[in-house]
Structure 1
Amino acid sequence: MSSAAEQEAVAAERATGDGRPAVVVNGARPAPPVPTVPVRPGRPTPLGARFRTGPDGVAGTNFALWAGGAEGVELCLFDERGRESRARLTELTHGIWHGFVPGVLPGRRYGYRVHGRWDPWTGARWNPAKLLLDPYARAVDDPAGNDFGGLPPEVYGHVRDWPEQHVADTVRDDRDSAPFVPKGVVVHDDDDWADDRRPKTPWADSVIYELHVRGFTMRHPGVPEELRGTYAGLAHPAAIEHLVKLGVTAVELLPVHQFAHEDHLLRRGLRNHWGYNSVGYFAPHAAYAASGTAGQQVGEFKRMVRALHAAGIEVILDVVYNHTAEAGELGPTLSLKGIDNRGYYRLQPDARRYADYTGCGNTLHVVQPHVLRLITDSLRYWVTEMGVDGFRFDLAAALARSMHDVDMLSPFLAVIAQDPVLRRVKLIAEPWDVGSGGYQVGAFPPLWTEWNDRYRDAVRDFWRHALPDVREMGYRLSGSSDLYAWGGRRPYASVNFVTAHDGFTLRDLVSYDRKHNEANGEGNRDGTNDNRSWNCGAEGETDDGDVRALRRRQLRNLLTTLLLSTGVPMLVAGDEMGRTQRGNNNAYCQDNEIGWVDWSLRDDPEWRPLLELTSRLIALRHRHPVLRRRSFFSGRAHSADGLRDLAWFTPHGREMTEGDWYAPAASLGMYLSGRDIPGRDEEGAPVVDDSFLAVLHAGPDPVDFVLPGAPWAERYEVVVDTAREEQDAAPAVVHRAGAPVAVPGRSVLLLRVLP
């Protein structure tokens, strides 16, 4: 709008009857007539764009869109030069607008314009000037990547530069957004996955590796440059080789649904790197495709999954169904907001505003049947047609809200529990959101596992010698029975982690006392201040050899603790070889060397021993079922000699009493018995394993730890000693039971009971 004449407003009486006008602004020049295309009635199901051949032999595509409150829907088709043609959908079945367009073949780009009232005060935000992405689009073509140094004003349903900011979102913008927004792509893929063999690793045997598709391979020297940062790059043998040697059983991919970049990042010359800003729940993110964005990304993603499956590695997706990239009332109009704002989003009693349980401006209204259908259709699609093996649900508590409160009998959880496809895959909850009552660790029902932040905090505090006693560590090391031993849940309900994508890397956890997020451009105000970290005597990188050696030892302690704990361990890509983000604990916008894995560390003499120890510990875990139990410890004697499946010891070699749990302590001995492990092996025989004693000592000074005698053991063999840089550099050491063993300060000693 460049003049007062161009800002001419047309006021209409609002349906609410409070006398305030709904303002509509037409700042656009009259557009030339748009060609129309013939359309047949088509079918209301399945939703989305489906290429097919009709009974009369005519090939074309059926389009179906749920827009329950709309007054009209136009399908917009775009040719290779971006020229638009339209087909008005006249068939309406149960809120679904549908039509079959002959001659529309795979690879064709499309979107929708949806007509209806513009009345933000009642939550109505229809604006046919805005091209909308099909929520069911299986591929998205977004060649510009929304990279304009800021989102252009045309992508907003309201006039961003309206002078009265307090009503800015109520003034409709009639400028065409089609040149600036992503478009759906018609895809035809009848792959039946007949040649795929899913690994199907039991939960108790799983070791999860969280990685970013782009960040994992951007600096990998073994991946061809043209494939780095793509699905094809992750599928490359050089990338998979690292995962296989490490021994992980599953990769958990940071979001790969099509996502958008936030305006405030683009204006600062940054981009959303992590991808927690979804806009298309069926489409693999186009920017991660090496082969093209006109549908090729679908096949490339599938080939990546096949390659990982062939290596015995499952694929878990981190999914963001709690909110979308459209943000709040001041956010862009890209899809759901323009299709049916009131139907898709939770609104406040003042319907102009959005209920925000996510901290991202909006929350999907999962209680609505069509929203629940969108999510479950998406999940089933990724399992049955894209080959994935499970999901980690970002801010899962927001999905479990019924009207307002988190409800473990909510429609979302009930539907998942009875769905014949979804109840069979791996389901991981991030069991909290930012709303009132949103912290739900330990509360999700059977079938679900959970990110256990209680584990993260306890282990961090123990190794920085900040726990008042060892009660918390006892629970966390043995499977967190205080959180999960109910309703038939098992120890693998706890996904144990010390670090995740959100926060410090493992190396930064022992190198920084404070976050250093200046590169994010927010004055270091973003990111948590509760890091529970310790820099070992110097802030950041240092040439002090003693500090560096202590940090490496602390990394060995943290990784050893994680991989010896009962539950499902989760590692973060690069932690096994000392990756750093230079103290940034919120690198969501760092699509650069800060956020990418540094593969030079793999061959660095300083960090290679850490990688070797990690692989060794994972292999040890795979060999010994006592380290990956399928049921909780009982703590009771199972034989006449009084030997129990789990016992705890003080440095004096005696079993801990109740008073010992409450006393200040820096040391803890955990005995795991391999006798009579619950369950049967593949041949039906009782499971029998070695027994182990793990000694964890977080104090700065050495301690003499007396090894428990009969009935626990007669001799012990040292398997892991984190005081040593090289675990295989010395011959095996054997100690007699009842003898004191010198345990250096800040170290872990894992001993195997000898027959």
Structure 2
Amino acid sequence: MASISLSMALTSCKSGISTRNSQFRLLGWNNFPKFQLCFLNQSCSQNIHGNIISLDSKSWVPQSVSSSTLGPTMEEVKESWYRFLSENGGVVKVLVLDHNGNYTVRIEVSNLSKDVMGEGLVLEWGMYRSDSSQLIGPDGVGTVKVPLMRNSLGEHAAELEFQSSQPPFFLSFVVLNSTGSEIKSHRGTSFCVPIGIGSGKPMPLGFSLSDDGKANFSLFSRNAESVILCLFENGNEEPDLEIELDPYLNRTRDLWHVCLDVVNKYSKYGYRCKGPLDWKKGGRFHMRYVLLDPYSKTIENFIPDKGEKVSFAKCLASLASEKKSFDWGDIQNPNLPMEKLVLYRLHVGLVAKNKSFIGIIEKIPHFKQLGVTAILLEPIFSFDEKKGPYHPYHFFSPMKKFGSIDSLKEMVKAMHKDGIEVFLEISLSGTSEGDDTAPQPISFRGIDNSSYYMNGGVSILNCNNPVVQTLILDCLRYWVVEFHIDGFSFVNSSLLLKASNGIDTLSRPAFIESIAFDPVLSKTKIISDTSSPAELCAQDIEFPHWKRWSEMNSKFYTDTRNFLRGEGLLSNFATRLCGSGDKFSSRGPAFSFNYITRNFGLTLVDLVSFSNASELSWNCGEEGATDNAAVLETRLRQIRNFLFILFISMGIPVLNMGDECGYSTSGSIAYNDRKQMNWSSIKTPYGKQITQFIAYLSALRSRKDDIFQRREFLKLENIIWGGSDGVHSEPNWLDPSCKFLSVVIKPENSELESDSDSESTLASNGGRVFICFNSGANTETAVLPEGSTWVRLVDTALPFPGFFVSGDESVVQVAGMSTYEIKPHSCVLFEAKCSTE
């Protein structure tokens, strides 16, 4: 037996594989030879390909392998077996022994006739990593020829040894007879064996480490013809090592997978995918791009193009192997009932002074003061900063500019400690990869565009495709389990109902239903939001819910704005006040998330300062900035009215960041025109009174929870509507000229009211309320209902601080058949102090 030791000292470089004597560049992206290979680990005996002879690895131990070759003991050596049929009827057996990263490869050839063998056999071999057409030997060029020596069993054999610094690579070889004719596999290709490379496992998707330190990579691509794994050393933007995956060995149905024994010297990875560029069928493959693994949990910074130089690796996944456990202590998710929520929507980069998750923690006292019980974070998934957060390119990792993974967990932990839930906004309607007019392949587009996206070359994820559905569900579960997220709001959610063609609407979308019944996600709050920050609009659609999905109520937005600007029907406004039974009759008012302003369009201050038909806004008499005292007074009343209606309506009030302190975009409705919040404005007279008013309204909702925080709708007999002629007159519901409405709401437990004048009676949950709304320019006279002494709690027409009642101030009591003037553009709330019924 001849044992040939080769000390090649191969090292990786950016452009290929270098040796001490020369450098080899990777040229082209050819597929593997289509060889038939039986890969056997330990006692595997399954026939993988029809013509391959199966072999139990424990049934064959080559006699010529000595103990000195194998190392100290057999138990310390990992072995892999391969067995091929040759085109001449012979058998080629390969044994790969792993001695803690040092490899011995034994090749044996048998069953060849003398006519085929001739006077002797020679092994011609070479190595490659990503280009099977270019082989190198120990000198970095060409191939190497090694004589095969006959052993006592009549087999021709040779051994090759490789040091731990050389793998991973593929060993490719043919057998030459004495005439120089090649003996190949029965398919007419070279024999090929991976060294330091295993077939890997299809699950889990993404990058994972086994207990023995081996790295497994798994990627979905149904339509790729070949996949190349690209590994990068720290700081490099070009691959330092590329490994082409074989469709026979490294593919299970639509999953490409590979296992590497060691990846310690590399810090990042990505993939190149080759496939048809078939525009009609959705193929958008391009081998130049190194693509981000959709399942990676940690990614590196986005790499922008530099001048005329185009970067073909926009973003790479991290190979960080240390998974530090985060100490959540004994802090649990608040798990608040839906009806107890007061939601505050914010943009991390615009709210926090240092634009980070940690900076949000500093705002917790402010949220607590307002009575906020949940925050909704605008998309924090990794995105292209030029396009904004509603164009993500990855869903498993937070944007690095906002802070680390642990800093996000610290923020969630701090929120939960103070009883505040954390929701994430998710946009699946347009990624950073763009469309066919301006493509930017980062991940999904280059991996398998036709599977991930809807037809037509757009970047809208095809969520009702089972593969995409699984990806998003896995992602959402990851955020719930790993980050303790309490809920999700899906922006532009109407697209979640679309079929793969992007046109047809599904009556029972699999994605929506899967979330509703998922064992993990069904325990979170799930919100549908049909608003589109890109198109600056919201659709009113019938969204399937299975009594699990709640919705951002766009009808509340439009009908409330119309009423306060003196337009619209009283019937529409009254429906919103009572929880929008036309939309939520089968679910209850707690599924309605009511909002006046949103994260695009006019802010609350701009809503009363600019007239815009698409925004249903009214400038109160003059456009934009003004010194007119009467106009300013009307604007202030309207702001109070909007907030008042938001908090006393059944459903969940949603505040938009900065509305409490006069945040303005000078009338711009574009999402990208928003700027950093100026928190010093919270100390201005406006900021102080609006902040205090919101805090008062939050406390009022909590105290009167039997009216304003309900899971079920109030019974009709507990609601008495009134028009301008008093509570006993029916409002003119369908007359657009009517601008006054009053209502008495009697809680279902109002029989608990007593005649006591004590403070406890005033604070009782059983008291009736009488509310008046005047959106007209004339004063209206309201007749207070009989049978109670009424306490005025709010009158938005009064000057600050008297327009709402605080605990230290006296209250105005009105008894009997008293009347009360409702000023123009104002709302008034009374509470029954004592019932005589």
The TM-score bracket by the shorter chain reads 0.7 to 0.9
The alpha carbon displacement at 1:362 in A equals 2.8
- For 2:771, the equivalent position in structure 1 comes to 694
Within the candidate set 234, 245, 265, 2:360 is matched to 234
Partner Cα separation in structure 2 for residue 704 and residue 200 of structure 1: 44
For residue 589 of structure 1, the aligned residue among 641, 664, 672 is 672
> Aligned to 1:342, which of 447, 450, 461?
450
Which residue is 1:451 aligned to?
Answer: 552
Report if the CA contact (8 A) 2:430-2:460 is conserved.
Answer: yes
Indicate how the Cα distance of structure 1 residues 147 and 124 shifts in structure 2: closer, same or farther if over 3 A, else same: closer
The amino acid that maps onto 1:208 is L
Matching residue of 1:325: 432
Work out the CA distance in 2 between the residues paired with 1:206 and 1:148: 46
- Contact 1:251/1:316 (<8 A) preserved: yes
Give the letter aligned to residue 310 of structure 1: K
For 1:225, the equivalent position in structure 2 comes to none
1:50 deviates by: 2.1
User: Structure 2 vs 1, CA of residues 432 and 575 (structure 1 numbering), >3 Å: closer, same or farther?
Assistant: closer
Deviation of the 1:189 alpha carbon: 4.4
- The Cα shift of 1:661 comes to 5.1
Q: How many Å apart are 1:508 and its aligned residue?
A: 0.5
1:499 equivalent among 576, 597, 602: 597
Contact 2:429–2:492 (CA<8 Å) still a contact in 1? Answer: yes
Is 2:244 aligned against 1:88? yes
* Closer, same or farther: CA 695–81 of 1 in aligned 2, 3 Å: same
How far residue 546 of structure 1 moved from its aligned partner, in angstroms, is: 2.5
Distance 1:658 1:547, change over 3 A: closer
Asked if 1:631 corresponds to 2:729, the answer is: no
TM-score, normalization: structure 1? 0.77
Q: 1:189 to 1:120 in 2, by over 3 A?
A: farther
Identify if the C-alpha distance between structure 1 residues 693 and 442 changes in structure 2 by more than 3 Å, giving closer, same or farther.
Answer: farther
The one-letter code matched in structure 2 to 1:138 is K
- The 1-side partners of 2:343 and 2:266 are apart by 36
Report if the CA contact (8 A) 2:610-2:624 is conserved: yes
Q: Which moved more, 1:601-610 or 1:442-451?
A: 442-451
The correspondence of residues 18-167 of structure 1 with structure 2, limited to 5 A, is: 37=168, 38-54=196-212, 59-82=213-236, 84=239, 85-90=241-246, 91-104=250-263, 108-142=267-301, 144=303, 146=304, 154=310
SS of 2:609's partner is coil
Once the two structures are superposed, residues 684-711 of structure 1 have per-residue CA deviations (whole angstroms, 9 ceiling, x without a partner) of xxx953221111111122221111114x
User: What is the SS of the residue equivalent to 1:259?
Assistant: coil
- What is the distance in 1 between the residues matched to 2:544 and 2:265? 45
| Aligned 8 A contact 2:540 2:554 in 1 | no
Preserved contact between residue 49 and residue 61 of structure 1 (Cα < 8 Å): yes
- Provide the C-alpha distance between the structure 2 equivalents of 1:101 and 1:508, rounded to a whole number of angstroms: 58
Per the alignment, in what secondary structure is the counterpart of residue 382 of structure 2? strand
- Cα distance between partner residues in 2 of 1:206 and 1:424: 16
Residue 718 of structure 1 corresponds to 792
Amino acid at match of 2:796: T
The separation in 2 between residues aligned to 1:556 and 1:36, in whole angstroms, is: 70
* DSSP-derived class of the 2:483 partner: coil
C-alpha deviation, 1:106, in angstroms: 11
Taking the aligned partners of 1:420 and 1:342, their CA distance within structure 2 comes to: 29
Distance in 2 between the 1:147 and 1:707 partners? 69
Alignment of 1:601-680 (within 5 A): 601-625=681-705, 626-636=707-717, 645-657=718-730, 659-660=732-733, 662=735, 664-676=737-749
Q: Deviations over 1:3-45 (max 9, x none)?
A: xxxxxxxxxxxxxxxxxxxxxxxxxxx9x99x97443222211
Give aligned pairs, total.
616
List runs of 5+ in structure 1 lacking aligned partners.
1-29, 156-176, 219-227, 262-270, 290-296, 348-352, 355-360, 515-528, 637-644, 679-686
Q: Which one-letter code corresponds to 2:401 in the other structure?
A: A
Q: Deviations over 1:59-94 (max 9, x none)?
A: 243221101111221221222221522233331113
Structure 1, residues 284-320: CA drift from partner, whole Å, max 9, x if none?
111211xxxxxxx221211111111111111110001
- Equivalence for 2:391: 277
| Residue 431 of structure 1, CA deviation | 3.7
Does the 8 Å CA contact 1:408/1:445 hold for their aligned counterparts? no
Conserved? CA contact 1:456–1:497, under 8 Å:
yes
CA contact (8 A) 2:794 2:827 kept: yes
**Distance in structure 2 (CA, Å) of the matches to 1:323 and 1:283:** 17
Structure 2: how far apart are the matches of 1:40 and 1:147?
35
Q: 1:443 to 1:421 in 2, by over 3 A?
A: closer
Show the counterpart of 2:782: 705
* Superposition pairs of residues 484-523 of structure 1, within 5 angstroms: 484-486=584-586, 489-514=587-612
Amino acid at match of 1:501: N
Q: Which is greater in Rg?
A: 2
Give me the whole-angstrom Cα distance separating, in 2, the residues matched to 1:366 and 1:328: 17
**Cα distance, 1:119 vs. partner?**
3.0
Partner of 2:422: 315
Structure 1 residue matching 2:576: 3-state secondary structure:
helix
Shift of 1:368: 1.8
> Aligned letter for 2:203?
T
SS in 2 for 1:63: strand
559-568 or 300-309, larger mean C-alpha shift = 300-309
Q: Residue 369 of structure 1 corresponds to which residue in structure 2?
A: 466
Select which of 392, 398, 412 maps to 1:305. Answer: 412
**How far apart are residue 153 of structure 1 and its match?**
6.9
Identify the residue that residue 541 of structure 1 maps to in structure 2: 625
Q: Contact 1:321/1:375 (CA < 8 Å) preserved in 2?
A: no
Q: Which one-letter code corresponds to 2:272 in the other structure?
A: R
| Greater RCO (Cα-Cα under 8 Å, separation 6 or more) | 1
Equivalent residue letter for 1:506: L
- Deviation of 1:561 after TM superposition, in Å, equals 0.6
8 Å contact kept, 2:720–2:727: no
Q: Are positions 1:471 and 2:571 aligned together?
A: yes
Query: Matches of 1:123 and 1:402 in 2, distance apart?
Result: 15
Kept in 1: contact 2:462–2:468 (CA 8 A): yes
Q: Is the 8 A contact 2:744 2:770 kept in 1?
A: yes
Deviations for 1:418-459, whole angstroms, at most 9, x for unmatched residues?
210111110000147789x97414654410111111110111
Offset of residue 364 of structure 1: 1.6
Give the corresponding residue for 1:402: 499
TM-score (norm 2): 0.70
Contact 2:358 2:407 in 1 (8 A): yes
The share of aligned pairs that are identical, in percent, is: 29
Which amino acid counterpart does residue 668 of structure 2 have in structure 1?
N
Structure 1 residue 554 displacement after superposition: 0.9
Deviation at 1:598, TM superposition (A): 1.8
Q: How far does residue 627 in structure 1 lie from its aligned partner after superposition?
A: 1.0
CA apart distance, 1:406: 2.5
3-state SS of 1:53 partner:
coil
Inter-partner Cα distance in structure 2 for 1:100 and 1:616: 60
Aligned to 1:423: 522
Residue 110 to residue 574, structure 1, CA distance change in 2 (3 Å): same
Q: Work out whether residues 64 and 98 of structure 1, in 8 Å CA contact, stay in contact via their aligned partners in 2.
A: yes
2-structure distance, mates of 1:106, 1:536: 66
Cα distance in 1 between the residues matched to 2:690 and 2:731: 36
Secondary structure of residue in 1 paired with 2:397 = strand
After TM superposition, the structure 1 = structure 2 runs for residues 435-446 of structure 1, keeping only pairs within 5 Å, are 439-441=540-542, 444-446=545-547
| Moved beyond 6 Å, runs of 4+ | 432-435
Match of 2:830 among 726, 751, 754: 751
Determine the C-alpha separation between the residues in 2 that align with 1:597 and 1:491.
Answer: 32
